[in-house]
C-alpha cells in the first residue's frame, strides 16, 4: 500500500520534469531559427565592421527545389542545417580555382565550427572532373543550367550577371542569401565576417 502511495505522489513531479525537458528542447531548436529570421528581416548584423556587401533587397532561394549536383544527385534544399560559402561562376577558370582554394583554407581554419559550414560551387560547367579531383569534398551544383542562369540574373540586380562576376556569397540555413564578396576581397576578410556570423548565430 505504501509503495502505491509513493508512486502517486511522485507522478506529478515526473510530469513537471517531462514538460520542462520538452520546453527546453523546443527552445533549443526554435530560437536559433528565430534569430536568423530576425537578423535577415531587420537588417541586423554583428557589431563591428563587416567587409562584405549586404544583399538588398533580400534574395531567397528557398522556393527553388530543382538543384542537381554534378553527380546527378537531387539537392532540393542543399542549404539546410549549414551556413554556406557559395561561389558562383559560369565556367570554373583559373581565377575560380583560386577562389575555391581560398574557401577551402577559410573552411579548414574554422576548426570546431567546420561542421556548421559547407562550401558550394554553383556553375554551368558540365565537366567538373578537374574540380572534383582537386576538391573532392566540395558540393558542386551544375545539373540545371537554366536554374543557375536564373539565379545569376536574380542576384545581378540589373547589373553584371553574377555568373560572370566571380563573387562569394553567404547563404543561411533558411535559404536566404545574406552577404556577397567581390573577387578583390581577400580571403582573410571573408573569414573574419564568417567567424562573426557563426558567433552571433546558433543556427547551423
Domain coordinates of the chain in residue numbers? 1-44, 46-200
Block residue for cell numbers 551544375: 142
pLDDT at 1: 44
pLDDT at 84: 95
46-200 folds as Glutaredoxin (3.40.30)
pLDDT at 87: 95
Q: What are phi and psi of 121, to 5 degrees?
A: -115, 125
pLDDT at 92: 94
pTM as predicted:
0.74
Q: How far is CA 148 from CA 11, 48, 88, in A?
A: 57, 33, 9
pLDDT at 51: 84
Sheet containing 167-171, strands listed edge to edge, beginning at the edge strand earlier in sequence = 53-60, 176-181, 167-171, 83-89, 117-123, 139-141
Q: Tens-digit pLDDT profile for the chain (204 aa)?
A: 444 444 444 456 666 666 676 666 655 556 556 665 665 555 555 555 678 888 877 788 888 888 989 999 999 899 998 999 999 999 999 999 999 999 999 999 999 999 999 999 999 999 999 999 999 999 999 987 788 888 877 776 555 678 888 899 999 999 999 899 999 999 999 999 999 989 887 665
Amino acid at each position: 500500500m505504501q509503495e502505491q502511495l509513493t508512486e502517486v505522489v511522485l507522478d506529478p513531479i515526473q510530469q513537471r520534469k517531462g514538460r520542462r525537458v520538452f520546453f527546453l528542447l523546443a527552445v533549443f531548436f526554435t530560437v536559433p531559427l528565430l534569430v536568423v529570421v530576425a537578423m535577415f528581416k531587420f537588417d541586423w548584423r554583428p557589431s563591428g565592421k563587416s567587409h562584405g556587401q549586404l544583399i538588398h533587397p533580400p534574395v531567397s532561394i528557398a522556393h527553388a527545389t530543382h538543384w542537381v549536383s554534378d553527380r546527378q544527385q537531387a539537392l532540393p534544399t542543399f542549404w539546410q542545417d549549414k551556413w554556406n560559402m557559395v561561389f558562383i561562376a559560369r565556367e570554373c577558370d583559373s581565377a575560380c580555382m583560386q577562389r575555391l582554394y581560398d574557401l577551402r583554407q577559410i573552411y579548414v581554419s574554422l576548426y570546431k565550427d567546420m561542421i556548421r559550414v559547407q562550401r558550394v560551387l554553383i556553375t554551368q560547367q558540365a565537366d567538373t572532373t578537374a574540380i572534383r579531383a582537386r576538391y573532392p569534398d566540395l558540393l558542386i551544383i551544375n545539373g540545371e543550367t537554366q536554374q543557375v542562369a536564373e539565379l545569376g540574373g536574380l542576384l545581378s540586380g540589373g547589373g553584371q550577371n553574377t555568373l560572370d562576376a566571380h563573387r562569394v556569397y553567404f547563404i543561411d540555413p533558411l535559404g536566404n542569401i545574406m552577404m556577397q564578396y567581390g573577387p578583390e576581397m581577400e580571403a582573410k576578410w571573408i573569414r573574419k565576417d564568417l567567424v562573426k556570423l557563426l558567433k552571433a548565430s546558433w543556427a547551423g
